[in-house]
Structure 1
Amino acid sequence: MDAPSPGAEDPELTYLNVALAFGFIVLNVIFSYIFDLGVGVSLLVAGIRCVVQLAIMGVLLQKVFETENPWAVAAIAFWLNFMGTFETVVNKSKKRHLNMFPSVLFSLLASTIPTSIIGVRFSMSVTRFWEPSQYIPVVGMLCGSTINGVVVAVTYILKEMQDNRDRVEMYLAFGASRMEASKPILVDALRIALTPTINQMSVLGIIAIPGMMTGAILGGSSVQRAAKLQMIIMFLISASTALASICSATYAVSIVVDHDHRLRQDRIYSKPLYSFSPSQGVLRVLFNAGNAVTNQVGLFGARLSRAFKGGNRARSGSGGREERAGLLERGLSYEEAPLSR
C-alpha cells in the first residue's frame, strides 16, 4: 500500500466518536416512533450488534495480523462463511427448504474461497495470498455481498414453487425431468439475484464512491490504486455471487422436486427455525438455534447422495415422452401452457 502523504493526519478514534455517530441511529429510532414505522427496536438491536461484533472482530483480527498464521486465516475465513450462512438461513430467509443450512454453507465456501484465493493471488498480485491484511478483508466483503444473492435466489424459487405449483406439476406430468420443469423459475431466480450486483457496478464512480475505495483512500493509498482495487473487488463479488446463487438455487430445486419427479411442498417451511419470547434467556435461544442447525446438518449427509440421483432423467411412464413431444411440437411455452386445476 502506498505511504500516506506528508502532513496527513491519522486522528485517533475512540468509542466516544462511535457514540456520537450512534446518535444518528437514535435519530432514526425517533423517526420510527413518530411515523409509527415499527422498526425502532430493530434499529437499536442492529446498531448494538454492529458495535459488539466489530469490536470483537477488531480484537481477533489484530491478533491474526500479528501472528500471520495461515491456519488462523483459514479459521477466520470459515467462521465468516459459517456466520454468513447462519444469518442467511435463520434471519434473512422468509422461506426455507429441507437441509438449507448445509447447502448454503457449501455454496458460500465453494464460491468465496476459490474466488478470493484467485483474486488476491493474481488480480491483486499478492505473493502470499493468505496474507491476513489482504485476504481476510476480501473474504469478508465477498461473504457480505454473496449472501444477499443467495437469499434472493432461494426465496424466489421456494415462493414460485408454491404459487405456481400447477404449472410445474403439469410439466412433470408430461414427462419433464425436475430440472426441465423448474428451468424457467431457476433462470428468473438467478437473474433477479444478479441484478443488484449489475446495478451496483453501473453506478460506481458516477453516483457512488464505494466503501472499499473510500477505506483505501482514508488509509493513505493513492486514489488511482484505490480505484483499481475497487474494480477488482466488484468483479470478484460478481463472480462469487453468481457461483453461490447457482449452487444454492440448483440444490433448492433438487430438494423441492425430488428424484422421483414429485413436487414436495412438505419440504418448504415458512416458520422460523427457533422462537423467541421475553421469558426466554439468550442461552435458551442459542440452544434452540444450535439444535435446529445440528438437525439440518445431520440430515444433509443422508440425503446428499439421493438429491441429484436421476436429476436429469425423464420419468418413464405410459405416454410420458409422447405427451411431452406433442406439447413441444405445438410450441407451448412455460407461460402459455394451460394450468391444471
Structure 2
Amino acid sequence: MVDIQKPELSWWNVTGASSFVLIAALVSLLLGTKLEIPLIISGIRCVVQLSLMGLVLDDVLKTEHMSVVIMMSIVFVLLGSYETVFNRTKKNFKGMFPIMFVILFISNLFITFLGTAFVLKTEPFWSPRIFIPVIGMLLGNSMSSVAMGTERCLDQFSAHAPMLETRLSFGASRYEASLPLAIEAIRIALLPVITQLSVMGMVNIPGMMTGQIMAGTPMMEAVMYQQCIMFMIAASSTLGVIMSVAACMSILIDKDQTMRHDRIIDNKAMYRYIPWKKFKHRLFRSKTCCGIQRRKKSIADAED
C-alpha cells in the first residue's frame, strides 16, 4: 500500500483558499443579491473562531476533568443560542434567547450523552476527544434546523393570523388552532436533515468521515462512526425543532387563547443594516458595472 504523506498547511494556504469566498462575494455584488458583506464577515468569523478554537481546545482535549468538558459544552450552547436568535432569523419573540438556550442544551446534551455512552461506547462517556467534537457537530446542525423551524413558525403565525383567530373564536384551544401550522413548520425545518441523510455516502462524503480516512482510520470503521453521528444529528435536530416550534406557538398564543402579535420582534443583525448602496457606489464609481446597472435602469424606465 502506498504511504501518502499529508501536506503541511500554512496561513498562506488559508489566504489562497479565501479567494474563493472573495470571488463569491464579487459575483454577489455584480448580481445585486446583497450577500457580499455577509459572505466576507462570515469568512472572517470562520478564521477567527476556528483559530481561537484551535488554541483553546488543544488544552481542553487533554483535560481529565468532567467539569471542564461540561463547561465547554455550555459555552458552545451559549454561542449557538446567540447565533440562532440574533443572526439566523429575521424575526424573534420576547424571551427567545433563554428559551433557545434551554432547548439547544437539552436536545444536544441529552443526545450526545446517549450517543457517547451507549452507541459509541466511550469510557468515560465525557471523554473530551469524543464528547466535545460530537456535541459540536450536533449543535451546528440542530442550530440550522431550529432557526428554520422558528422562523417558519413566526412567518406562518403572521400570514395565517385570520385563520388562527377564527379557530380560536370557535372554541379551539391554542394547541388545536396552531397544530396544522406547527406541523408544517416542523416538516419544512427537518427537510434538509432528511435530504442529508438520504444522500450521505452516495453524493456527499461528510467531513468527519473524510478526516478519519485522512488520519488513517480503517474505511468501515469510519463509515460506522459516520452513520452513528448522522443518526444522532437527526435525533437532536428533530427534538430541538419540535421543542422550539411548541415554545414559539405557546408564546404567540397565550394561555387565555389570545394571539400576541406584540411579542414578535424584528431582528436587528448588524450586517443587515450596512449601507449597501453607498458601499457599492464607493467601490464602483462608474455608472455601469458590466452593463448590469444600465440594464436595470432601462428596465425601470420601461416599467415607468
TM-score bracket for the superposition, by shorter chain length:
0.7 to 0.9
Deviation digits for residues 218-248 of structure 1, max 9, x if unmatched? 1221111111111011100010011111111
| Structure 2 match to 1:243 | 239
| Structure 2 match to 1:86 | 82
* CA apart distance, 1:90: 0.4
Is 1:20 matched up with 2:16? yes
Report SS of the residue matched to 2:61. Answer: helix
Deviation digits for residues 10-56 of structure 1, max 9, x if unmatched? 33222122112112122223323333333222222111110110000
Give the letter for the 1:267 counterpart.
R
User: Cα–Cα, structure 1 residues 157 and 124, in superposed 2: closer, same or farther, change >3 Å?
Assistant: same
Unaligned runs of 5+ residues in structure 1 are 279-341
Give the letter for the 1:210 counterpart.
P
Deviation digits for residues 99-126 of structure 1, max 9, x if unmatched? 1111111110110001001101111111
Is 1:97 matched up with 2:96? no
- TM-score normalised per structure 2: 0.86
Distance (whole Å) between structure 2 residues aligned to residue 258 and residue 33 of structure 1: 44
Deviation digits for residues 235-266 of structure 1, max 9, x if unmatched? 00010011111111111111100110101111
Instruction: Decide which of 116, 140, 150 is 1:144's aligned counterpart.
Output: 140
Instruction: Decide which of 184, 187, 211 is 1:188's aligned counterpart.
Output: 184
Distance (whole Å) between structure 2 residues aligned to residue 202 and residue 277 of structure 1: 38
| Structure 1 match to 2:202 | 206
Instruction: Decide which of 32, 46, 62 is 2:28's aligned counterpart.
Output: 32
Unaligned runs of 5+ residues in structure 2 are 275-304
User: Cα–Cα, structure 1 residues 33 and 116, in superposed 2: closer, same or farther, change >3 Å?
Assistant: same
| Structure 2 match to 1:61 | 57
| Structure 2 match to 1:172 | 168
Give the letter for the 1:148 counterpart.
S
- The number of equivalent residue pairs is 275
Report SS of the residue matched to 2:87. Answer: helix
* CA apart distance, 1:6: 7.8
| Structure 2 match to 1:133 | 129
Deviation digits for residues 57-110 of structure 1, max 9, x if unmatched? 001100111223221111111111111110010011111112111111111011
Is 1:229 matched up with 2:210? no
Deviation digits for residues 110-156 of structure 1, max 9, x if unmatched? 10001001101111111111111111110001110001111111111
Deviation digits for residues 270-321 of structure 1, max 9, x if unmatched? 242779978xxxxxxxxxxxxxxxxxxxxxxxxxxxxxxxxxxxxxxxxxxx
Report SS of the residue matched to 1:96. Answer: strand
Report SS of the residue matched to 1:209. Answer: coil
Is 1:120 matched up with 2:116? yes
Alignment of structure 1 residues 2-17 onto 2, 5 Å = 7-17=3-13
Is 1:261 matched up with 2:257? yes
Whether the 8 Å contact between 2:146 and 2:237 is mirrored in structure 1 is: yes
Report SS of the residue matched to 1:110. Answer: helix
Cα RMSD, aligned residues only: 1.9
Whether the 8 Å contact between 2:38 and 2:271 is mirrored in structure 1 is: no
Give the letter for the 1:221 counterpart.
T
Identical positions, percent: 36
Distance (whole Å) between structure 1 residues aligned to residue 141 and residue 102 of structure 2: 16
| Structure 1 match to 2:103 | 107
Distance (whole Å) between structure 1 residues aligned to residue 156 and residue 32 of structure 2: 32
Distance (whole Å) between structure 2 residues aligned to residue 244 and residue 70 of structure 1: 25
User: Cα–Cα, structure 1 residues 211 and 274, in superposed 2: closer, same or farther, change >3 Å?
Assistant: closer
